[in-house]
Structures are given as C-alpha cells and as structure tokens.
Chains A and B, each alone.
Chain A
Amino acid sequence: MKEKSLALCFIVMILIAGCQEKKLKTEEYIHWIENPDNRFNISKNIGDIALTLQYKPIEYILAKEQAQQPMENAEKEKRFNELSGMQYYNLTYSLSVSNADILKYNLKDASEYQERIYYFSFHLQESIFLVEDKDTLPCELFHYERYYGLSPKMSFSLGFKNTGKTNDKQIMIYDEVYGSGPVKFIISSEDLQNIPAITE
C-alpha cells in the first residue's frame, strides 16, 4: 500500500513538473524563439529562392528592445499594451544558391530592378495574408527594410490583427516576382502553447 502511494506521488510530481511552464532568461528566450528547431523560425527554399519567416511574440519584441535599451516596468507595460493589438512577423528573402543580391537575381534589364523595388515597397503587402481558423487577415503593418545593396537579403516586418485565436497560423505569400507561386508557412497552435516564459 505504501509503495503504491509512493508511486502515485512520483507520477503526480512528474505530471506537475511536465505541466509547469518553461522559463528562460531574456537572452535564452530570444535564442529559443530564433532557433529553427522550435518552429517559430521557418525557412523554405523554392528553387534558388529562400524565404524565412520569423514569428515575433510581443515578449520577444520587448526582449529585443530591452536588450538595446533597458526599460522600467511601467514603461515596459505601456509598450506591451501598445503592441498587443497586433501579431508580428519578419519575412526574409534571400538566394539559397549564392550570396548575391536577391533583388538582382535573373534581371532581364535595368528597369526591372526599379520595378522590383517598387513592387516590394508598395505591392507585396497586398500579396500577404494570415489564415487563422476561417479568417483570412490582410497584412496591416508592412515595412520594407531597405539595405541599399549592403545586404544580399530583403527583409520585411509584417503585422496582422491579433484576433486572440489559438488556432494554427498560416502565412500565405503570393510571390509575383520570382515565379514560386503561393508560398505558405504554418505555425502550429501546439507550438504556440509551448512558448516559454521569461524569468525576471
């Protein structure tokens, strides 16, 4: 009887330990979110083009900002509230086969380079959607980080309305420049529920 109770206690302890939220220090948390193994940083190669999507929880954005400029708790809370109406992602385009400038990849002529810059600056936003449950959300915040030839990559900050739903998040990009067709990324609800917390 005593052995049975001990075994039961042991199982309950294991279950409690298993259910406890994982906690990480700020720097570890940033690395964890950026680690492709945790499926919040997903890469997809289509032919020579590599697309990478980074999901950025608000805690992650705050942690990155905090690392650059420490904030007081009140300031942090204010910033959290500012950010909380949206959900944020980063999209990167690069070449999987070389370190050449992706904007210049397979250019037909010089005017096409300008056309691409124009498209990525003003029209890519219309080709990006987030599917959650049965909703298809447009990309409401869009920022093209121009590198002016200093980096072979292209980076975009994306923001969608935060619906508060806990379903899978599927990002769809209809690429009209590199001929890849629709490219999709999925972030599973299961993974979203297992994001660790940050220890103070």
Chain B
Amino acid sequence: MKWLTIIYGVLIAGLAGALIYVTSGVAKTGFVSTPELYNEFSLTKELQSKLDNVKQARQHLLDSIKIELQVMRNRMQNTKTKNDSLLNTFETLRQKYIIKEQQFKEENGLLEQEYSDQVWKQLNQYVNDYGEKKGYAYIYGASGNGSLMHADKDFNLTDELINYVNERYKGAGVK
C-alpha cells in the first residue's frame, strides 16, 4: 500500500512537471477580429455620429445653394430678355457651390482620418493593456485581408476585448 502511494506520487509529480515544461515554452496567444472590434468600440460610434452630423450640416449648406441656383435658373429661363446681372449672380453662386463642395469633401476626408487616428490610438492602448494584464505574448489582428489566414475560434478574443475596450473607454482604470 505504501509503495503504491509512492508510485502514484511520483507519477503525479512527473505529469505536473511535464505539463509545466510543455506550457512554459508556449507563448500565450489570441486573435481579434479588428473590423468587429473597431466597429463595436464606443468611441468609433460616438465619432461616427459626430462625423455624420458635420457631413449633414455641410450637405444642408450645399443643398441650400443648389436650391438657390435652381430658382435663379428657372427665373432666367422664364425671362424673355437677357439679364446680365442675374447671369453674373448665378455664375458667382455656381462658382461658390463648386468651391464649397470641393472644400467640404477635403475637410470631411481630413476629419474622418483624424477620428480614425483617435480611435486606433485608444484601441491600440487598451488592447495592449489587456494583453499585458492577461499575460498574452501576442494578440493577432484578423482583418480578413490575409494577414491571418486561419485561427482556432477558441483563441478568439473579440467579444472579450470589445467589452474590455468599452469599459476602459468609459473611464475604468486598468483591470
């Protein structure tokens, strides 16, 4: 009976040692679906709605100039005699519309880029904090562009990371 206990003890110790040996050399890894994480991040949603408002306000301004132009065009078409002053005003307004349209297009692009940079800055930080806290050596980003061709779904951290980054953004300290 005593021998049996010793043998079991040695066997268990051996198994535990082997397990430690095997796992100690393996770096803890996981992956995250970056488009999903980006889209589900509260900051993305906030900034997207802000961007939509800005774009909408600019579009309203363009639309009002467009309507004004349309009214002028109708007036010109209905007037039998040539009205140079109206034609000049129409041309000036048309130029203004073209310039504004181009300016808004550029500014919308810049704002979109600025917001995207802000989102990535915070996301990178929070994912990094998560990785450090949970002891991950690597967290791969699967973006569907071939950077990560296959990953076992058991290593998918997307849902957990979405919760984590949103909590952190809300104001929680490093957990």
Residues of chain A at the chain B interface (Cβ within 8 Å): 36, 39, 42-47, 170-171, 179-182, 184-187
Instruction: State how many angstroms separate the Cβ of A26 from the closest Cβ of chain B.
Output: 26
Query: How long is the Cα–Cα vector from A39 to B171 in the complex, in angstroms?
Result: 11
> Which of B51-59, B68-76, B79-87, B118-126 interfaces with chain A?
B118-126
Question: Closest residue to A43 on the B side, CB-wise?
Answer: B173
Instruction: State how many angstroms separate the Cβ of A105 from the closest Cβ of chain B.
Output: 14
Do B170 and A180 touch (CB < 8 A)? no
Do B121 and A42 touch (CB < 8 A)? no
Do B121 and A179 touch (CB < 8 A)? yes
Question: Closest residue to A168 on the B side, CB-wise?
Answer: B171
Do B118 and A181 touch (CB < 8 A)? yes
Do A171 and B171 touch (CB < 8 A)? yes
Query: How long is the Cα–Cα vector from A47 to B46 in the complex, in angstroms?
Result: 20
Query: How long is the Cα–Cα vector from A47 to B117 in the complex, in angstroms?
Result: 11
- Number of chain B interface residues as a range: 20 to 34
Do A186 and B171 touch (CB < 8 A)? yes
Contacts A46-B122, A47-B121 known; A182 to B170 CB distance under 8 Å? Answer: no
Name A36's contact: one of B46, B117, B122, B173 (CB within 8 Å): B173
Question: Closest residue to A186 on the B side, CB-wise?
Answer: B171
Contacts A179-B118, A181-B43, A181-B47 known; A47 to B171 CB distance under 8 Å? Answer: no
Do A184 and B169 touch (CB < 8 A)? yes
Residues 128-175 of B contacting A (Cβ, < 8 Å) = 129, 168-174
